[in-house]
Amino acid sequence: MKIRAAVLEAFDAPLEVQEVDLAGPKAGEALVRLVACGVCHTDLYTASGADPSGYVPTVLGHEGAGVVERVGEGVTSVEPGDHVVTLFSPQCRDCEHCLDPRTNLCLAIREQQNRGYLTDGTTRLSREGEPIRHYMGTSTFAEYTVMPEIALAKITPDAPLDRACLFACGLSTGLGAAMNTAQVASGSTCVVFGAGMVGLGAVAGCRLQGADRIVCVDLSPERLDLARGQGATDTWAAGPDTVQQILDLTRGFGADYTFEATGSVEVMRQAVESARMGWGLATVCGVAGKGETMDIVPRFLITGRRIAGSSFGGVKGRDQVPQFVDRYLAGDVDVDAFVSHKLTLDDVNRGFELMEAQDGIRSVIDFA
């Protein structure tokens, strides 16, 4: 079938919205009609050329939600008409990692997915007979996409898909960082560095876990206002004295849990240095640039602080994303506040511009 999609033809260049060919689903796959897709920083990270694993040409986009139109042979967990959230982090439920509660990094299709292919090592996307690779196994900057069954989370049809799409990446990453990776304890003190989509999700996750004090640190007063709406008890303008401010707040010990959601290696260091002596946990969610390293003084670690990385918030997507969506519908998370701009597919590059200008939290492409 012919579809319109936003293709990354060259790094550090605008995406080109054009007509491409999409083959039907093979065994274990489903054809999804996209209804909404968030424009996430990870898409911009790859488009800029900063992603060491990036490739071209590819159809970008991974924060999608839509409706299953057709399924391939052997598909049992979704059927035509189901509402789904796309998962760049699949869950086969059978591999060693899926069966282990310590990780969400499914092994089933990881090798092919990292190369831009579907399970059988080929693509369903092409142009004039030449293959176009799938981005993060999703490629949701498109009217339709074909994805593995194990990378689709079936959600209630009651959820607006222009809200549900945010659970495909940023919001689930933040919520999961607090609830899964850090497992924030009730009554604790938390500090979240960064009030973008992931950071605000982490603030909400800390609140849902019963944290007593939640400090959010960011450069933007507007974003800090949103952090208060998600449960932050304190909001501070970021600066070189932030670590000392946290120590002053905590009798010199540091916060029980800190979360980095900026991608800055300097902020990652601040998150470690402001974690509590003895048991503080610094959770790193941000993606640093190619070749960057985090500089940590070892004595911060040998005095009891720990560092954890969090990919997609430790969320096992097919199981937990539907639960998160249900909590949104129950009023536990204010998702409406995150949708700043509604765009068409033709405006996808405008979404990147708004992101770089820090204008709002999330632009959402509406395919309806």
Catalytic residue among 29, 41, 173, 318: 41
Find the catalytic residue in 83, 134, 318, 362. Answer: 362
Q: Is 83 a catalytic residue?
A: no
Active-site residue, 63 included: yes
Q: Which of 4, 33, 93, 110 is catalytic?
A: 110
* CA-closest candidate to residue 138, choices 89, 95, 199: 89
Among the options 37, 46, 86, 92, which is catalytic? 92
**Catalytic residue selected from 63, 143, 260, 273:** 63
| Catalytically annotated residue among 37, 106, 165, 190 | 106
Give me the catalytic one of 29, 37, 58, 62.
62
Catalytic residue among 37, 42, 119, 140: 42
DSSP 289: P
Q: Is 62 a catalytic residue?
A: yes
Q: CA-to-CA distance for 133 and 122, rounded, in angstroms?
A: 8
Q: Are 68 and 114 in contact (CB under 8 A)?
A: no
Answer yes or no: 110 catalytic: yes
Please name which of 143, 138, 140, 129 lies closest in space to residue 317, comparing C-alpha atoms: 138
Q: Which residue has the tokens 């491409």?
A: 20
Catalytic member of 37, 98, 206, 285: 98
Return the DSSP state at 349.
H
Q: What is each CA distance from 206 to 49, 60, 262, in whole angstroms? A: 33, 31, 17
Q: Which residue from 335, 315, 196 is spatially nearest to 267, judged by alpha carbons?
A: 196
Distances from the Cα of 99 to the Cα of 2, 65, 279, 304, 316, angstroms: 39, 26, 28, 30, 10
Determine which one of 37, 165, 169, 216 is catalytic: 169
d(CA 29, CA 77): 11
362 assigned to active site: yes
**40 a catalytic residue:** yes
Orientation of helix 265-273 relative to helix 242-249, angle to 10°: 20
Q: Which of 95, 306, 327, 350 is catalytic?
A: 95
Instruction: Check if 37 is active-site.
Output: no
Query: Is 92 part of the annotated catalytic residue set?
Result: yes
Among 29, 37, 40, 250, the active-site one is 40
Q: Cα dihedral sign for 91, 97, 100, 101?
A: negative
Q: Annotated catalytic sites, by residue? A: 40-42, 62-63, 92, 95, 98, 106, 110, 169, 362
